[in-house]
Amino acid sequence: AQSVSQHNHHVILSEAASLELGCNYSYGGTVNLFWYVQYPGQHLQLLLKYFSGDPLVKGIKGFEAEFIKSKFSFNLRKPSVQWSDTAEYFCAVITISGGSYIPTFGRGTSLIVHP
């Protein structure tokens, strides 16, 4: 079964610092990849997604992620974080070749950005 690892559980940064959150998945083959974000007091919402094509995908609010198939990774990046980026970030994977189409989520990374 697919599993998703997010190695950074808690990240604390100052504004303007660069961000990289790791995401690795266990089962190869054809996958669709997502990053979801949950701002304080709000519901989970999509940040960006990768289905195919250019492995560098850009999402909302200046976030981007790079799919590296050989490393089973889909790391999230932002060059300069803002206080408003304080949130929980979840990586999710759908294993298309597995045939289940059920999104599997990582445990999440809590990001706190100090002004």
Partner 1 sequence: GAGVSQSPRYKVAKRGQDVALRCDPISGHVSLFWYQQALGQGPEFLTYFQNEAQLDKSGLPSDRFFAERPEGSVSTLKIQRTQQEDSAVYLCASSRGQLNEKLFFGSGTQLSVL
Euclidean distance between CA atoms 46 and 49, whole angstroms: 8
Nearer to partner 1, 17 or 88 (CB): 88
Nearest to 35 by CA among 80, 84, 85, 82: 85
Contact call for residue 75 and partner 1 (CB under 8 A): no
CA 77 to each of CA 35, 42, 45: distance values in angstroms, whole numbers, following the listed order = 11, 22, 17
Q: Which stretch binds partner 1 (CB under 8 A): 13-21, 59-67, 72-80, 89-97?
A: 89-97
Least distance from C-beta 63 to partner 1, angstroms? Answer: 15
Between CA 72 and CA 76 the distance in angstroms is 13
Instruction: Give the count of residues interacting with partner 1 (CB under 8 A).
Output: 25
Binding site for partner 1 (CB under 8 A): 4, 6, 9, 32, 34, 36, 42-46, 49, 51, 90, 94, 96, 100-108
